[in-house]
Amino acid sequence: MKRLYFLLVSFGMWLGAEIDAALTRYMISIGAVLQFGGSIFSKMPHGRRNVANGNGATNVANGQISLDLNKDFLTEEHIVTLSIAQAFTGAPTSSDVRRFFSKLEIASNEGTIFTAGFDQIYDLMRFAEMASAPQIVLGMAATANFSFTLHHSNDRATLDLLTALQTANFSTLRLILTIAPDASNGFIGGTGPGVATYQVAVDTEEIPDPAFSGRSPVDRQKITYGKARHWCKAMQEVDSNSTAATTQNILLECGGRVRFIAFHTYNTTGALPVLANGIVNTVSLSSNGVDYAVNKSFLALQQANLAKRNFNQVGVAVLDMGDDPKGWIPLENVNTAKLVYTTLAGTPAGWTVKVCQDHTTGLPALGV
């Protein structure tokens, strides 16, 4: 009987220890999700609020719209809604919303977080999350209404909230849109263009929960969310009037981890640049002895974009490093990194290739 009693007590102690260990592992795993922002937990609709940031007034051609953005809570994204109206004596025949602005920036006292051509950022943002379908009216009183999302959290990626903006830490946070000339904006083919008017509204998707958005600088310093930073920047632009095959070397921005590199290729032989295939041939990128792309064809990139992201745009291709930050191109401790692309023989007599880099800084300090 004593032996049976001893066995039962021993079994109970063992079982208790196993349950305690299992609970500890469970709590550690949950803690890791809470601490590092795994996507399952970070998508929390009950904790969000949408806040209107203001409207841009009527603007003249070649001007800028500058809007101050809210600076209070942890911000996942800014949703930009645009309304454009313009009178013509002869109605436009087509439209392209990328042409309404020449540049987009999100400027802060800690640096310019987004800075690139409007076409580059518009396409790169909708590459990760679809934008609204533009509502266009082509007539002598032409109008365009559309929206898109500027992601600060790395949309669809694991650990996405690490790069959300702790906006309360900023003294300056501003959206700046540079307006395209009235005669060559997104309304195409019209005659006698008048002055276009622009209305811009920005909504902020924020998480006001104090567990994510500390109320004081000391509180925020303890929160992992927002400690990394998601950047989107234009790299070197190449313009050419040669139809011969060329090789181009583009210096990338080092110090972060690269998720996307987007290419926009334009035929510039006409009155206005037009997105076109048949310009870039192959793309190659190596860093620290690792080949991330070797003679990858532009068309193969486009097919991969269509298969994985359902993104299909003539003249646009994205080198996509996926959704896991550990698989992105590590340029944190690299002084120089070159992207190499070749162009085809027999390209249009005038062409432009624009490159935009989407990368994240601050991940190694967070153990990622």
pLDDT (0 to 100) of residue 73: 87
Q: Which CATH number fits the domain that encloses residue 271?
A: 2.70.9.20
Q: Which CATH number fits the domain that encloses residue 49?
A: 2.70.9.30
pLDDT (0 to 100) of residue 296: 96
Helix spans in the chain (H): 2-36, 39-42, 118-128, 217-221, 298-309
Task: Give the SS3 label for residue 212.
Answer: coil
CB 320 within 8 A of CB 211: no
The answer on 158 and 80 residing in a single domain is yes
Paired with 360 in beta bridges are: 230, 257
pLDDT (0 to 100) of residue 64: 87
Angle of helix 298-309 relative to helix 118-128, nearest 10 degrees?
Answer: 50
The answer on 327 and 215 residing in a single domain is no
CB 145 within 8 A of CB 200: no
pTM of the prediction? Answer: 0.84
Structural domain contains residue 100: yes
Please give the biggest Cα pair distance in the chain.
104
The domain boundary, picked from 199, 221, 243, lies at 221
The domain boundary, picked from 221, 251, 283, lies at 221
- Amino acid identity for residue 62 in this structure: N
Q: What does the block give as tokens for 48?
A: 């969000």
- Whole-angstrom Cα distance, residue 22 to residue 19? 5
DSSP 71-130: -SSEEEEEEEEEEEEEE-SB--SEE-GGGSEEEEEEEETTEEEEEE-HHHHHHHHHHHSP
Paired with 149 in beta bridges are: 79
The answer on 90 and 208 residing in a single domain is yes
The domain boundary, picked from 221, 255, 276, lies at 221
CB 233 within 8 A of CB 356: yes
The answer on 214 and 73 residing in a single domain is yes
Q: Which of 105, 65, 92 is nearest to 231 (CA)?
A: 105
The answer on 169 and 246 residing in a single domain is no
pLDDT (0 to 100) of residue 54: 53
- Whole-angstrom Cα distance, residue 366 to residue 42? 17
Structural domain contains residue 28: no
The answer on 309 and 204 residing in a single domain is no
- Whole-angstrom Cα distance, residue 262 to residue 186? 21
Residues 6+ apart with CB under 8 A from 246: 240, 342, 343
Structural domain contains residue 21: no
Structural domain contains residue 19: no
The answer on 206 and 252 residing in a single domain is no
Structural domain contains residue 257: yes
3-class SS shares of the chain: helix, strand, coil, % to 5: 25, 40, 35
Task: Give the SS3 label for residue 296.
Answer: strand
pLDDT (0 to 100) of residue 32: 38
Structural domain contains residue 35: no
CB 157 within 8 A of CB 324: yes
Please give the residue range of the domain that contains residue 251.
235-366
Paired with 293 in beta bridges are: 285
Q: What does the block give as tokens for 240?
A: 């050419």
The answer on 249 and 206 residing in a single domain is no
CB 102 within 8 A of CB 185: no
Q: Which of 358, 329, 312 is nearest to 155 (CA)?
A: 358
What are the pLDDT tens digits along the chain (368 aa)?
Answer: 545 455 444 555 554 554 444 433 333 333 434 444 444 334 444 455 666 655 554 455 458 888 888 888 889 999 999 999 999 999 999 999 999 999 999 999 999 999 999 999 999 998 987 677 899 999 999 999 999 999 998 876 777 888 999 999 999 999 999 999 999 999 999 999 999 989 888 888 888 877 788 888 888 888 888 899 999 999 999 999 989 999 999 999 999 999 999 999 999 999 899 999 999 999 999 988 889 999 999 999 999 999 999 999 999 999 999 999 999 999 998 888 999 999 999 999 999 999 999 999 999 988 88
What is the pairing mode between strands 257-267 and 329-330?
A: antiparallel
Residues 6+ apart with CB under 8 A from 338: 249, 250, 251, 252, 285
CB 101 within 8 A of CB 85: no
Give the number of other Cβ atoms within 10 Å of residue 126's Cβ: 16
The domain tally of the chain equals 2
217 CA to centre of own chain: 27
